[in-house]
Every structure is written in structure tokens, then in C-alpha cells.
């Protein structure tokens, strides 16, 4: 029998129990930093050194974080389902937990690219980017992140994935940031949609099963329900 297809749409909340800050919770990153200064393309052209440092810090912090049970359960679903992870997270915790098909809508902390057209993408692991470092084309090396004001190149691929989902699991995202937040509306009308979050998320104008739990607890409940 053909395996059913699950698309997991994850956000910062899935990594919260690994010790990575979310953005919009109290004491989240956007309470301590100005999003325009550290996460917009305008911010980059105003003060690239500041943004380089901000992402160097995120990358250095990531090296010492570990995937949690929620990431591991997402990966374990692959034994029973065809699974695609569409994540807004720039961390590599889904990879380290063992998921195989991951779309990073907002880029990846462990990669860098040329500021000229975001070409010449390279793996840099957890090391810092130096302010005077150049990409292969001689332009400044920048973090491989999708900043506010930039296109989301993997959006079409994410839409294609969700359009053929039987089950959608939305976990740890406040659904504040578009276009990612609109992805769920591309799911087929008969797809089952589950939302795991300890708090209310933005209103969703279609039927969803809401699991008001932290990611580790909610994913365990849902895993047990789906893998009967
Ligand atoms: P947010 O910080 O907006 O939302 C995090 C969500 O996770 C909230 O709904 C929290 O209630 C929930 N949450 C907190 N702890 C949790 C836990 N232990 N388990 C499950 N859920 C938990 O983060 P995102 O929605 O991911 O983009 O933010 C989207 C984008 O905004 C990010 O990718 C980033 C940011 O600006 C860029 O920087 C381009």
C-alpha cells in the first residue's frame, strides 16, 4: 500500500525545548533585538558587520544545542509515512534528528553565500563569518538567510509539497510571517491538519485539530495517534 504523505510545517517553537529562543514569545529574540536591524535586507546594507555578528552568535550557539524528542518523532514518522519537513527554522536540528527531506524556507545558519544574488552557497558549519570574508565571486560573504524584504525562493517547492499532503502537522509557529503562514491553505480540502502549540496561534480559517501542548508532548500524542 502507498504510504500516506505528511508535511510538517515547523517554526521556532519546535526548537524551544532544545534551548533555542523563539522570536515572538516573551524574552524572544525580537524583544531583545530590532528585527529591522538584524533580520532585514535593509539592515544588511546599513550595518553588515552587526548582522554578521548576530548570525555568528546564533551559529555558535547552535553547535551546542541538541535535537529534542519532537524533532526525533518527526524523523521517526518516516518509518510509516512519506514525510516532508518545511521549516522556517535556520537551525539544523531536523537534520541532526534524522529527517531526510527538509525545505528550509528561511535559509540555513550553517551556510553562507555571496551578497551578490545569494549565489555561491557554501557550508560553513558552526564557524563565524569574518567581516572581510569574500565569496567565490569576490563579493562579501553573508549568512545564507532569507531576510525580511527578500524573496522566499523555496516557497513554490513548499507549496507543491503541501498540495499533495494527506496530513499536515503545524508545530511551534505563531503563523505571523508570510508567505510561510499561508502555506496551510494549499493543503487539499480533505487533508487532516494538526496544530501543536502551547499557546493560541493566529486564527486559522479552516478546520484544524489543535493540540495545546509543547512540541515534545504534542508530537508524542500525535505520533501515537497516527502510528497505531
Ligand atoms: P515565533 O516566535 O513567531 O512563534 C513561536 C511559536 O512557538 C509560538 O506560537 C509559541 O507559542 C510556540 N512555542 C513556544 N514554545 C514552544 C514549545 N516548547 N513547543 C511548541 N511551540 C512552542 O516563531 P516562528 O513562527 O517560527 O524569520 O517565526 C517565523 C519567522 O519569524 C522566523 O522564521 C523568523 C522570524 O522573524 C526570519 O527571521 C526571516
pLDDT tens for each residue of 102-114? 999 999 999 999 9
113-123 per-position pLDDT tens digit:
999 999 999 99
The pLDDT of residue 203 is 82
Mean pLDDT to the nearest integer, 211-218: 98
Concerning whether 106 is annotated as a catalytic residue, the answer is yes
Residue 26 pLDDT exceeds 90: no
Residue 228 pLDDT exceeds 90: no
The closest residue, in CA terms, to atom 8 on ligand 1 is 174
Catalytic one among 71, 80, 106, 209? Answer: 106
Non-local CB neighbours of 43 within 8 Å, separated by 6+ positions = 36, 37, 50, 51, 147
Mean pLDDT of the chain: 96
Nearest 10 degrees: Cα torsion 154, 157, 159, 160: 180
Non-local CB neighbours of 137 within 8 Å, separated by 6+ positions = 114, 116, 119, 120
* Residue 196: Cβ within 10 Å count: 28
Residue 98 pLDDT exceeds 80: yes
Mean pLDDT to the nearest integer, 17-22: 96
Q: Cα 86–20–71 angle (5° rounding)?
A: 45
> Can you tell me which atom of ligand 1 is nearest the CA of 25?
2
Q: Cα 22–152–44 angle (5° rounding)?
A: 70
Half-sphere exposure of 97 (CA within 13 A, CB side): 25
Residue 31 pLDDT exceeds 90: no
- Expressed in angstroms and rounded, the spacing between residue 200 Cα and the centre of ligand 1 is 12
Amino acid at each position: 500500500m502507498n504510504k500516506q504523505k505528511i508535511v510538517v510545517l515547523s517554526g521556532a517553537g519546535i526548537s524551544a525545548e532544545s534551548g533555542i529562543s523563539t522570536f515572538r514569545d516573551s524574552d524572544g529574540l525580537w524583544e531583545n533585538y530590532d528585527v529591522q536591524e538584524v533580520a532585514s535586507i535593509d539592515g544588511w546594507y546599513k550595518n553588515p558587520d552587526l548582522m554578521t555578528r548576530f548570525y555568528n552568535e546564533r551559529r555558535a550557539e547552535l553547535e551546542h544545542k541538541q535535537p529534542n524528542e519532537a524533532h526525533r518523532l518527526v524523523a521517526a514518522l518516516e518509518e510509516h509515512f512519506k514525510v516532508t519537513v518545511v521549516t522556517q527554522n535556520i537551525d539544523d536540528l531536523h537534520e541532526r534528528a534524522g529527517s531526510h527531506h527538509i525545505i528550509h524556507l528561511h535559509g540555513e545558519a550553517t551556510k553562507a553565500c555571496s551578497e551578490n544574488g545569494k549565489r555561491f552557497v557554501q557550508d560553513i558549519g558552526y564557524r563565524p563569518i569574518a567581516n572581510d570574508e569574500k565569496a567565490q565571486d569576490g563579493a562579501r560573504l553573508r549568512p545564507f538567510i532569507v531576510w525580511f524584504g527578500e524573496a522566499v525562493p523555496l516557497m513554490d517547492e513548499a507549496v507543491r509539497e503541501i498540495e499533495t499532503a494527506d496530513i499536515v502537522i503545524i508545530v511551534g509557529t505563531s503563523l505571523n510571517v508570510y508567505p510561510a503562514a499561508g502555506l496551510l491553505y494549499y493543503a487539499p480540502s480533505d487533508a487532516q491538519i494538526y496544530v501543536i502549540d502551547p499557546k493560541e496561534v493566529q486564527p486559522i480559517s479552516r478546520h484544524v485539530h489543535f493540540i495545546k501542548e509543547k512540541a515534545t508532548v504534542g508530537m508524542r500524542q500525535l505520533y501515537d495517534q497516527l502510528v497505531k
